[in-house]
């Protein structure tokens, strides 16, 4: 397989899908409070995507995934399945939204603190977001995937966090997951060279403890083996002739 180069028409559709995914995260923010269940968050997002955005929640039935969003709490790394579990004060949660609009995907996630969170949880969340943006800063024609991974790995490890290796960023377009694999660790100059028109996600997952994970019996929920806290942030990024454009930017980031 090779990395597709999107044309102007495809890029415009990806801009729309990306903006919609970002707007779901903005919409859900005031609902992420103690006492709400992740099923309720799922239902609110599902209805908003389907009815207000006239779009499709990509996770629903994707390879058997049963819900419209992923909700990953505390020691859950990613792919948490919404359930009847209530959020409680002090929890940290990643909400991962992928929408399909006019056949194209937009994929983005962010961390929320439920009520107030501990200082050590906040520090993990902040460093993980910094890792995402350090990775994004690398994106321009001529740099390599290894440059992105290296920037992320260096910042995470210099702050004594570990990086999950089993999951990575990915090309995205008409398919949810396309080439390339965008690793969150690596060596400068290694891997594929970026070209204008490529679109992929960067979505680092950092743990306070060791990097190792296990998948629960539900076949999806990935948790830290040592039960330490984990955080993740994700954006969908276009390589432009001069650098990059983040297709899933929220107002709070502009």
Contact residues toward Co ion (CB under 5 A) are 96, 107, 201, 234
Q: Which residues bind ligand MF3 (CB under 6 A)?
A: 59, 62-63, 65, 70, 79, 96, 98, 107, 201, 203, 220, 234
Query: What is d(CA 165, CA 129) in angstroms, rounded to the nearest whole number?
Result: 17
Query: What does the DSSP assignment read for 75-93?
Result: TEEE-PPP-SPBP-TT-EE
Query: What does the DSSP assignment read for 162-210?
Result: EE--S--EEE-SSSSSEEEEE-SS--TT-SPBP-TT-EEEE--EEESS-
| 109, two tokens | 């996630």
Residue 94 burial (CB count, 10 A) = 27
Complex with Co ion: residue 75 or 201, whichever CB lies closer: 201
Query: Smallest distance from the beta carbon of 56 to ligand MF3, in angstroms?
Result: 12
Residue whose C-beta lies closest to ligand MF3: 59
Q: Which partner in ligand MF3, Co ion, none is near 65 (CB below 5 to 8 A by kind)?
A: ligand MF3
Complex with ligand MF3: residue 47 or 62, whichever CB lies closer: 62
Complex with Co ion: residue 79 or 155, whichever CB lies closer: 79
3-state secondary structure at position 111: strand
Complex with ligand MF3: residue 33 or 62, whichever CB lies closer: 62
Q: Which partner in Co ion, ligand MF3, none is near 91 (CB below 5 to 8 A by kind)?
A: none
Residue 202 burial (CB count, 10 A) = 29
Complex with Co ion: residue 23 or 107, whichever CB lies closer: 107
Query: Smallest distance from the beta carbon of 98 to ligand MF3, in angstroms?
Result: 5
Query: Smallest distance from the beta carbon of 184 to ligand MF3, in angstroms?
Result: 12
Helix-strand-coil split of the chain, %, nearest 5: 30, 25, 45
Query: Smallest distance from the beta carbon of 168 to Co ion, in angstroms?
Result: 9
Residues in CB range of 168: below 8 A, 6 or more apart? 181, 182, 183, 184, 203
Query: Smallest distance from the beta carbon of 139 to Co ion, in angstroms?
Result: 15
Query: What is d(CA 178, CA 95) in angstroms, rounded to the nearest whole number?
Result: 21
Complex with ligand MF3: residue 33 or 215, whichever CB lies closer: 215
Q: Which partner in Co ion, ligand MF3, none is near 79 (CB below 5 to 8 A by kind)?
A: ligand MF3
């Amino acid at each position: 397989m090779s990395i597709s180069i999107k044309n102007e028409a495809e890029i415009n559709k990806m801009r729309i899908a990306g903006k919609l995914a970002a707007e779901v995260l903005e919409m859900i923010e005031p609902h992420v409070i103690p006492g709400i269940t992740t099923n309720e968050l799922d239902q609110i997002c599902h209805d908003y995507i389907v009815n207000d955005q006239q779009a499709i929640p990509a996770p629903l039935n994707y390879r058997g995934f049963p819900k419209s969003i992923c909700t990953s709490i505390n020691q859950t790394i990613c792919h948490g399945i919404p359930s009847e579990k209530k959020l409680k004060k002090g929890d940290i949660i990643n909400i991962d939204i992928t929408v399909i609009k006019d056949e194209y995907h937009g994929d983005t996630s962010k961390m929320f603190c439920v009520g107030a969170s501990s200082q050590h949880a906040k520090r993990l969340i902040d460093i993980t977001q910094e890792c995402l943006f350090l990775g994004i800063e690398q994106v321009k024609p001529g740099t390599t995937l290894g440059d992105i991974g290296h920037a992320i790995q260096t910042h995470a490890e210099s702050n004594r966090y570990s990086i999950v290796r089993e999951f990575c960023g990915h090309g995205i377009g008409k398919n949810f997951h396309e080439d390339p694999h965008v690793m969150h660790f690596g060596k400068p100059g290694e891997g594929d060279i970026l070209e204008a028109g490529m679109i992929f996600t960067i979505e680092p997952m950092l743990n306070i403890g060791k990097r190792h994970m296990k998948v629960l019996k539900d076949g999806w929920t990935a948790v830290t083996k040592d039960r330490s806290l984990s955080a993740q942030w994700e954006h969908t990024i276009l390589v432009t002739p001069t650098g990059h454009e983040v297709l899933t930017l929220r107002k709070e980031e502009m």
